[in-house]
Amino acid sequence: MWATYKEKLKLFSERLLEAQKQIRLLEAVRWDPKVLEEVKRSHYKELPKVSPETYDSIPLGYDPNAKIAEFQNLIVELKNEIGVEDSIAKILLSSCEEYQDLLRMLQVRGKPEFYTYSKKLYGSPSEPFFGTKVSVKDSCRLRRKKRNRAR
């Protein structure tokens, strides 16, 4: 069937939305409340005791490899149907690749590689917020200084 450019983009956008629907990042990395209680008991001086096994009891609800393949199929079809030079296709392609990285990140929950993917997707505490020179670290330091002055 022949479809217009807008119709194709709409179909690809809908497929992207459908593909990502099951992915729930916060649910996939949520710790048992006992972990937070242990950190509180240490007065926040000890790191949480988590490992890959901590996450074994938190099912993703889907096969991450199948999801990665689903996004890869979408990438291939987008490139073939719309092309890599189209500005809207670039956004959709980038989104597909980011979801693939998110899925890879979830596959390594509790391992050092998790941070590598997390930093790639969300940045690090030392990187400035978009359009500013202030980082998460900076804002925490400023907040701590204000709190100490108020005491």
pLDDT digits (tens, 9 = 90+) for 60-77: 999 999 999 999 999 999
Confidence of residue 1 (pLDDT cuts 50, 70, 90): low
How much is the pLDDT for 50? 86
Q: Could you give the CA distance from residue 9 to residue 63 in angstroms, rounded to a whole number? A: 26
- 37-74: burial string, b at 16+ Cβ within 10 Å, e else: eebeeeeeeeeeeeeeebbeeeebeeebeebbebbeeb
Q: What DSSP character marks residue 32?
A: P
pLDDT surpasses 90 at 107: yes
pLDDT tens by residue, 14-38: 999 999 999 999 999 998 899 889 9
pTM of the model: 0.83
Ramachandran angles phi, psi of 23, nearest 5°: -75, 120
Domain boundaries, the chain: 5-111
| Structure token digits, residue 16 | 């992207």
